[in-house]
Each structure stands twice: as structure tokens, then as C-alpha cells.
């Protein structure tokens, strides 16, 4: 689907026009208002109605924006997504979308509309015979809003790029394939890219990656992408968990928890999506993307419960569950990232089911000791609709991960506070003398959905690509 912005659209025409309506229908003409009310449409958030077209359009799609005084970017995003979904259902080929909520949000409406259309039209249909008929969408707005529209378009396309990789199954995306995608993206965007094979992993003492990846016929990899623009004023490290498939290892998962484990690479894929957006937007920030990637499988070489491994920074870890593998590979990346001495390091991972229990399927857990960073991420997430909730790095729970025969163990002694103890585990591998600020995002809930929600269909959402890019843009 091609999405265009036109500031001088002399004659609006197409199969269908998408227009926004506030709750109460005050701005709607009397005749249309009566027709819409007959369809039980009142302009509430999420409502959609279709009226027969006349003149230049075959149909008119009305989308609810809710109460005028309570309009947000996310409500516009949702309205645009609802509109484009209805257009697809009506098998429209060419669509014109008005700048929904422009009177209230100005240029931010252009950004939200672009995101809503592109995110809402997404479907992972690569392996299906039927294809979507919609080919072109034109958004009509003022020229001064073009820059904001283009930003929204870049963010949404980077998100969908992420969704595509996450949605690919484990027989397609292996650690080596993920590394290949990283190389191709780096070549396209002009980034530096290094990939560590087993020999380089051993040379760099990345024992977590080697240990977890040992049980698979698909060998592990570590990926380092570097974006170094001239005049960069700060250095950022992004770390993404890249478990291309997680069987649970010898602590094998039950069937109902294993079948969506292609999504355990969502953090790594989000990092790739963020880098794609940065390559197009070119901000003056030096960014290093680090991806430890493995397949967690059980065989005769697989690591075992009770194994003890010692990391490059001297921290030793008792393995109490081979299904808590993500933190073991992230540890290597956090040690490596600390050596780059960044101003900010952010890791993102589908790390714990405990975070889903705490916050549900639609909110990511945020862990950081930096209050200013936490407030900024929370502010941005409200605008992007990628919900975050700050959870405590409760040091009283340190005892939960204290090892009997080692520094720490890789899961807590009890099932309580699992998201927190996982974050505390990761903190052991962040060198506070070299990293000014660190945040951990547990995206286990919203990274992959079992049913449609807002502007997302079933499957990968691409979170938190848009939030992190907005953070880096400042």
C-alpha cells in the first residue's frame, strides 16, 4: 500500500473518503447526521460507519474521534486505522483520508494519521494466497504538516519492518538469518556491522550466548551495528534479546506456551526497526545496536539446570532454569555495551511472563534508576500509545537471586516479583562506572498479541520502536 501526502489536492476523488467526526456529530450536516444516527453512529472513539458515496467517491467512511476536548494522537491513530480497515473490507483500491483532528492537534494529527493508516493496514500475508486489494492512500493536508506526516510514515514503516521479522517462524529466522538481515540493513543505511561467530564469541568470552546456543543445530551469533554521524553529541547503546525460537531448553515449555515462541526475538527485531528509522531520519546521536541471538533447544549438548557459568565481568551464575535463557544472553551484551561507555543504554526483551501477570498484555514494564529518563519515556509512550509502566528495582528482592554456589542464580527462589528479579539480574552486568543511565524494557506483554487490539492485528506489534526512536530524536 502506497501512502502519499498531498497539500494541493484540487479535486478529491477515489473509491472512498475517510473523514473524522467528533462525538455528538455537531459538525455534521443535518441530512448526514440523521443517516449516521440511524446506523447507531455517534462519533465515539472506535466507531465506524459507511454511507453511500456521491460525486467523486463511491463511499464515505466516518470514523469516531470521541469528545473534541479530549482528542489525543492515539485516538487519531486509532480512527485512521479503523478507517483503513473498513476500506480494505469494502475492497477499495484508492482512498483519500482527511487530516483527522487537524483543528485540535495541528501537525501532530498528520503524524498520527500516517501511523494509524500504515499500522492499521498491516497484515502478515506472505504465506497466504489472498492479497489485499488496497493500493493507494492519499492524505490531504497543509504543506506545513508534511514533515510531521513523513516522520509518522517512517516510524510506522520501521514498526511494520519489525513486525515482519517477528512474525516469521523459527524455520525461517535463525540466528544466522537474523545476522544476515542486520548486514543487509546496515549496507542499505551505511552502518558499520560486525557479526561474531562461535570463534569470536569464545574470544570475547561471551559465555551466556555460547551456553544457551549450545543445544541447537543453528549456531548462535552476536550482532553489533554502529551508526556514527558526524557531530554526534551523545552515545546510546540499544540491546535486544534475539531468541529466534525458545523451546525452554531442557526445562521444556508446555505446548500452549511454546507455539508462539518465534516472538522471543521481538526485542532484537525492535532494535533493527529502530536502526532502520534512524538510518532514514539521521539524528545527531551515535547509536550502537547490540543483538545476542540464539535458538534455545534441548539436545545432548544443551546446558543443564545446576550448571554454573562465569561471565567476563567475574559474575558467576547458577542455572536454575534453562527457560530463563534471555537474561543469560543479554548479560553478555550488557557487559559489551558497558565497554562502549554510553550516555544511555536501553535493553528491550520479551523477558518474563511475570511482567504479563503484573501488567497484562498491553503494557511494557519499565525499570530504571534514572527518574528523569523514566518521566521522559512515560511522556513519550502516552503520545505513541506504546504503554509503559515503571516498576521498582526493589533491592529487598536481591536475596531472591542470590546464588548458593555462585554470585547469583538465573531465576528467583520463589515465583513472586519475577519481572523485578529479572531486572535486578540484568543490572549485575551494567557497569555503573561506564554507563551514565540504563533502562530495561520488559515487552513480554505487548510485543506479540493473540487477538487484535487498537490498530494492531493478531501477532507482532513492533513495540517499542516508535517510543525509542522518539526518545533518540529528543
DSSP code per residue over 163-232: HHHHHS-TTT--HHHHHHHHHHHHHHHT-EEEEE-HHHHHHTT-HHHHHHHTT-SS--EEEEEEE--TT-
Q: Are residues 251 and 283 in the same domain?
A: yes
Q: Among residues 113, 294, 315, which one has the least CA distance to residue 201?
A: 294
Structural domain span for residue 80: 2-141
Given the residues 75, 221, 327, 427, the one annotated as active site: 327
Average pLDDT over residues 174-202: 98
Residue 238 pLDDT > 70: yes
Domain presence at residue 231: yes
Same domain, 173 and 301: yes
Per-residue pLDDT, 13? 80
pLDDT tens digits along 272-287: 999 999 999 999 999 9
CB–CB of 308/298 below 8 Å? no
Say yes or no to pLDDT of 329 above 90.
yes
- CB 359 within 8 Å of CB 389: yes
For residue 433, cis peptide bond before it (omega within 30 degrees of 0): no
Q: What is the mean pLDDT of residues 468-474?
A: 97
448 domain residue, yes or no: yes
Q: Do 233 and 97 fall within a single domain?
A: no
Residue 150 resides in a domain: no
pLDDT at 41 (0 to 100): 96
Percent of the chain at pLDDT > 70 equals 99
Confidence (pLDDT) at 1:
86
Q: Are 204 and 254 in contact (CB under 8 A)?
A: no
Predicted TM-score (pTM) of this structure: 0.96
Query: Which of the listed residues 88, 114, 141 is the one where a domain comes to its end?
Result: 141
Say which CATH number the domain at 9 has: 3.40.220.10
233 with 201, same domain: the answer is yes
153 within some domain: no
Q: Using pLDDT thresholds of 50, 70 and 90, give the confidence band for residue 131.
A: low
Q: Is the pLDDT of residue 129 over 90?
A: no
DSSP class of residue 373 equals H
- Cα→Cα distances 162→128, 156, 385, 466, Å: 19, 10, 17, 11
Exposure string for 340-370, b = 16+ CB within 10 A, e = fewer: bebebbbbbbbbbebbbebbeebbbbbbbee
Domain-embedded: residue 92? yes
pLDDT at 230 over 90: yes
Residue 139 pLDDT exceeds 90: yes
Helix, strand, or coil (residue 345):
strand
301 phi, psi to nearest 5 deg: -100, -5
Helix axes 326-339, 418-427, angle to 10 degrees: 30
- Are residues 292 and 244 both part of a single domain? yes
Q: Are residues 163 and 290 in the same domain?
A: yes
Q: Do residues 403 and 307 make contact, with C-beta atoms less than 8 angstroms apart? A: no
10 pLDDT more than 70: no
Instruction: Give pLDDT tens digits for 27-59.
Output: 999 999 999 999 999 999 999 999 998 878 999
Distance, CA of 443 to CA of 438 (rounded, Å): 16
Strand partners, 227: 287
| Catalytic residue selected from 35, 58, 68, 253 | 253
| Active-site annotation holds for 327 | yes
| pLDDT tens per residue, range 414-459 | 999 999 999 999 999 999 999 999 999 999 999 999 999 999 999 9
pLDDT higher than threshold 70 for residue 332? yes
Average pLDDT over residues 277-301: 97
Over residues 317-323, mean pLDDT: 98
Q: Are residues 317 and 247 in the same domain?
A: yes
Angstrom distance (rounded) from CA 52 to CA 280: 40
The answer to whether the Cα torsion of 99, 103, 107, 109 is positive or negative is negative
Domain boundary among 113, 141, 169: 141
Total number of domains constituting the chain:
2
Q: Are 231 and 202 members of one domain?
A: yes
Q: Are 291 and 271 in contact (CB under 8 A)?
A: yes
All residues at 6 or more sequence positions from 42 whose CB lies less than 8 Å from its CB, including other chains:
23, 24, 25, 36, 64
One domain for residues 188 and 84: no
Q: Distance of CA 38 to CAs 20, 85, 464, Å?
A: 18, 22, 40
81 within domain boundaries = yes
Q: Is 234 a catalytic residue?
A: no
**Residue 444's domain is classified under what CATH number?**
3.40.630.10
> Strands 235-240, 57-66: parallel, antiparallel or unpaired by DSSP?
unpaired
Question: How many degrees, rounded to 5, is the angle at CA 315 between CA 311 and CA 317?
Answer: 85
Q: What is the mean pLDDT of the chain?
A: 96
- Within this chain, do residues 105 and 162 fall inside the same structural domain, yes or no? no
Mean pLDDT of 216-226: 98
Secondary element (H or E) of residue 159:
helix 146-167
Per-position DSSP letters for 29-55, written without gaps between them = -HHHHHHHHHTT----TT-EEEEE--T
3-class SS at 245? strand
pLDDT digits (tens, 9 = 90+) for 340-399: 999 999 999 999 999 999 999 999 999 999 999 999 999 999 999 999 999 999 999 999
- Asked if 337 and 290 count as a contact pair (C-beta separation under 8 A), the reply is yes
> Is the domain of 327 the same as that of 463?
yes
Looking at 110, 141, 172, the residue that finishes a domain is 141
Residue 23 near residue 66 (C-beta atoms within 8 A): yes
Q: Is residue 114 a part of any domain in this protein?
A: yes
Q: Give the model's pLDDT for residue 12.
A: 74
Expressed in angstroms, the distance from the first to the final Cα of the chain is 30
pLDDT at 11: 62
Residues 240 and 371 in one domain: yes
Percentage of residues in the chain having pLDDT higher than 90: 93
Cell reading at 126:
506472505
pLDDT of residue 9: 67
Place of cell 516472538: 263
- Stated as kind and residue range, the H or E segment containing 365 is strand 364-368
Q: Which residue has the cell 512474525?
A: 167
Residue 148 placed within a domain: no
Amino acid at each position: 500500500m502506497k501512502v502519499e501526502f498531498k497539500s494541493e489536492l484540487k479535486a478529491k476523488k477515489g473509491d472512498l473518503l475517510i473523514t473524522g467526526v467528533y462525538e455528538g456529530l455537531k459538525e455534521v450536516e443535518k441530512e448526514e447526521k440523521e443517516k449516521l444516527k440511524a446506523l447507531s453512529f455517534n462519533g465515539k472513539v472506535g466507531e465506524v460507519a459507511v454511507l453511500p458515496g456521491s460525486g467523486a467517491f463511491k463511499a464515505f467512511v466516518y470514523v469516531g474521534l470521541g469528545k473534541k476536548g479530549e482528542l489525543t494522537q492515539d485516538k487519531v491513530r486509532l480512527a485512521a486505522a479503523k478507517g483503513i480497515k473498513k476500506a480494505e473490507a469494502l475492497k477499495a483500491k484508492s482512498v483519500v483520508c482527511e487530516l483527522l483532528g487537524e483543528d485540535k492537534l495541528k501537525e501532530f494529527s498528520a503524524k498520527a494519521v500516517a501511523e494509524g493508516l500504515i499500522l492499521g493496514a498491516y497484515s502478515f500475508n506472505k504465506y497466504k494466497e489472498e492479497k489485499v486489494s488496497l493500493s493507494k492512500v492519499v492524505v490531504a493536508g497543509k504543506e506545513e504538516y508534511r514533515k510531521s506526516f513523513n516522520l509518522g510514515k517512517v516510524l510506522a514503516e520501521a514498526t511494520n519492518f519489525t513486525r515482519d521479522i517477528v512474525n516469521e517462524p523459527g524455520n525461517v529466522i535463525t540466528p544466522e538469518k537474523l545476522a544476515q538481515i542486520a548486514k543487509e540493513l546496515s549496507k542499505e543505511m551505511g552502518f558499520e556491522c560486525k557479526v561474531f561467530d562461535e570463534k569470536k564469541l569464545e574470544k570475547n568470552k561471551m559465555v551466556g550466548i555460547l551456553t544457551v546456543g549450545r543445544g541447537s543445530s543453528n549456531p548462535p551469533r552476536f550482532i553489533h551495528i554502529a551508526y556514527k554521524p558526524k557531530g554526534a553529541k551523545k552515545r546510546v547503546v540499544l540491546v535486544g534479546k534475539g531468541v529466534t525460537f525458545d523451546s525452554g531448553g531442557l526445562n521444556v515449555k508446555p505446548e500452549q506456551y511454546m507455539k508462539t515462541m518465534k516472538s522471543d526475538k521481538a526485542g532484537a527485531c525492535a532494535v533493527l526497526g529502530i536502526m532502520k528509522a534512524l538510518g532514514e531520519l539521521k539524528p545527531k546521536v551515535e547509536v550502537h545496536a547490540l543483538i545476542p541471538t540464539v535458538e534455545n533447544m534441548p539436545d545432548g549438548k544443551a546446558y543443564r539446570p545446576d550448571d554454573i557459568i562465569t561471565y567476563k565481568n567475574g559474575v558467576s551464575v547458577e542455572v536454575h532454569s534453562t527457560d530463563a535463557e534471555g537474561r543469560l544472553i543479554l548479560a553478555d551484551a550488557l557487559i559489551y555495551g558497558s565497554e562502549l561507555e554510553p550516555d544511555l543504554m536501553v535493553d528491550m526483551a520479551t523477558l518474563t511472563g511475570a511482567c504479563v501477570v503484573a501488567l497484562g498484555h498491553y503494557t511494557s514494564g519499565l525499570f530504571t534508576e534514572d527518574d528523569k529518563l523514566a518521566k521522559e519515556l512515560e511522556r513519550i509512550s502516552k503520545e505513541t500509545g506504546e504503554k509503559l509502566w515503571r516498576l521498582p528495582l526493589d533491592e529487598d528482592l536481591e536475596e531472591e537471586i542470590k546464588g548458593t554456589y555462585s554470585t547469583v542464580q538465573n531465576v528467583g527462589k520463589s515465583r513472586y516479583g519475577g519481572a523485578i528479579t529479572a531486572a535486578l539480574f540484568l543490572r549485575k552486568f551494567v557497569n555503573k562506572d561506564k554507563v551514565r543511565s540504563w533502562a530495561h524494557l520488559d515487552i513480554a506483554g505487548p510485543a506479540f498479541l493473540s487477538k487484535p487490539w487498537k490498530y494492531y492485528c493478531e501477532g507482532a506489534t513492533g513495540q517499542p520502536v516508535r517510543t525509542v526512536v522518539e526518545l533518540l530524536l529528543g
